[in-house]
Amino acid sequence: QKEVEQNSGPLSVPEGAIASLNCTYSDRGSQSFFWYRQYSGKSPELIMFIYSNGDKEDGRFTAQLNKASQYVSLLIRDSQPSDSATYLCAVTPGGNNRLAFGKGNQVVVIP
């Protein structure tokens, strides 16, 4: 079982719609959860982090964490063409600072 799973394929959303991304993790001891955005040919860039159960909002982005179900999600409201990228979910298994990444989900926002 992989530490972090992001299984859905490329997500195409029309401009202005909500993009929803999901991620599950295997280690119940994970304490920190991150979403990174990676444009093609570029390095990952942190967009959200969440430590506690519930929702965390930052501008058009909302991260949701459910530790009981071991999943974390990312919502992108009012999607823009500039949001087209790969979104990487990362967690710190066992509470240490080693980031375990999922393989990422590609988002394509269609004008």
Partner 1 sequence: EAGVVQSPRYKIIEKKQPVAFWCNPISGHNTLYWYLQNLGQGPELLIRYENEEAVDDSQLPKDRFSAERLKGVDSTLKIQPAELGDSAVYLCASSSGITDTQYFGPGTRLTVL
Shortest CB 54 distance to partner 1, Å: 20
- Answer for the pair 101, 92: CB distance below 8 angstroms, yes or no: no
Read off the amino acid at residue 8.
Answer: S
Q: Which is nearer to partner 1, 77 or 103 (CB)?
A: 103
Total Cβ atoms within 10 A of residue 109: 20
Shortest CB 107 distance to partner 1, Å: 15
Q: How far is CA 64 from the centre of its chain?
A: 9
Binding string, 80-99, against partner 1, x = CB under 8 A? Answer: --------x-x-----xxxx
Shortest CB 45 distance to partner 1, Å: 7
- Answer for the pair 95, 29: CB distance below 8 angstroms, yes or no: yes
Q: Which residues bind partner 1 (CB under 8 A)?
A: 4, 32, 34, 42-46, 49, 88, 90, 96-104
